[in-house]
Amino acid sequence: MIVKINKSSKINTINFQNLNFGEIFTDHMFVCDFENNTWKEPQILPYDDIKISPSSSVFHYGQAVFEGMKAFKDDDGGIWLFRPEDNFKRLNISSKRLSIPEFPKKYFFEGLKKLLLLDQEWIKTGYGNSLYVRPFVFANKAGVSASPSDKYKFMIICSPAKSYYTGDTNVKIEENYSRACKGGIGFAKAAGNYAAQFYPTSLAINQGFQQVIWTDSETHSFIEESGTMNIFVKINDTLITSPTGDTILDGITRRSIIELSKHINQKVEIRKLSVDELVKSAENLELNEMFGCGTAVVINPIRSFSYKNKKFNLPEIKDNSIQNILKESILKIQYNKSSDIFNWRYKIN
């Protein structure tokens, strides 16, 4: 691996107490180019703009996928990633669907380690502080013919993050737009999936909601995801989440919640949940909790959902709610404050 050190670190200019998500990037970036049918020698370079042809196929045909993960620093300076093997696997699942060549595991983990060690001062200790790690890959062939590119660029960039108070989340159950369809690319972390969400989400925001609950594209009668998160509800004593398939991203936080729930004997069902069932459970006062989950916030409590212009409020979240218990357990594992019984932590230093 070629490593060029950034000789003018900007770390001393950063106010780590006041960070907006994803706006500041560390001193280095990982870059690896695919050309002549092979991934070339990876490089770590000072973080900088990159030069791309205006005819580069990513701009025209959208071959681009990404991942999102976090690095944490424990009180002794130990640096940890949370289930990065799962992110690596998902990256290549996404790539395959977008006709992007798979990225070698060796390069991914060597690159991650080297990058995080070089930029380790950017990871602050203390609950809530983390480094958001963004691997991504895009088609980079110059020319506008509508066919898979034969050149790609894989990169990893990193952004310091704090835990954010997500505020009250009131969601709208979507009855018109879809983020994914059968046989489509909803299961992939493809850039275009996010572009397709922005407009319907902005309509919901203008109506006073914070997020959209995506439903199946054929009937709009089954719950799929919550914004850019997977979704769980607790009806009576049972946690329920939709099965992943080609329309739902196989979230690593979702998977962790299922495994943890089973471990603590919290009943969890992975099955389709209809909007009708959700509405009835709310009307019968059987709907106790509803939350989104994902790498960025771990768990995002939902305060209310609206369907056909009718609003249904969730009960107040108690300290001993299952979402608080699960969030605390995941944070403790991530920050090396509890034993790692599932082998989820990945040591960097």
Footprint of ligand PLP (CB under 6 A): 68, 225, 228-230, 249, 251-254, 294-295
Of the pair 56, 92, the CB lying nearest ligand PLP is at 92
Least distance (Å) from ligand PLP to the CB of residue 86?
7
Of the pair 258, 322, the CB lying nearest ligand PLP is at 258
Residue number, nearest CB to ligand PLP: 251
Q: Which residues pair with 35 in a beta bridge?
A: 38
Alpha-carbon distance of 56 to 61, in angstroms, equals 9
Least distance (Å) from ligand PLP to the CB of residue 127?
19
Least distance (Å) from ligand PLP to the CB of residue 250?
8
Q: What angle do CA 77, 79, 82 make, to 5 degrees?
A: 145
Q: Which residues pair with 33 in a beta bridge?
A: 153
Of the pair 140, 228, the CB lying nearest ligand PLP is at 228
Least distance (Å) from ligand PLP to the CB of residue 273?
16
DSSP letters, 261-316, are HHHTT--EEES--BHHHHHHHHHTT-EEEEEEEETTTEEEE--EEEETTEEEEPPP
343-to-126, 338, 339, 347 alpha-carbon distances in Å: 22, 12, 9, 11
Least distance (Å) from ligand PLP to the CB of residue 67?
8
Please answer whether residues 141 and 149 qualify as being in contact, where contact means their C-beta atoms are separated by less than 8 angstroms. Answer: yes
Residue 227, both tokens: 């914004």
Q: What angle do CA 210, 64, 45 make, to 5 degrees?
A: 105
Least distance (Å) from ligand PLP to the CB of residue 87?
7
Of the pair 111, 251, the CB lying nearest ligand PLP is at 251
Of the pair 34, 132, the CB lying nearest ligand PLP is at 132
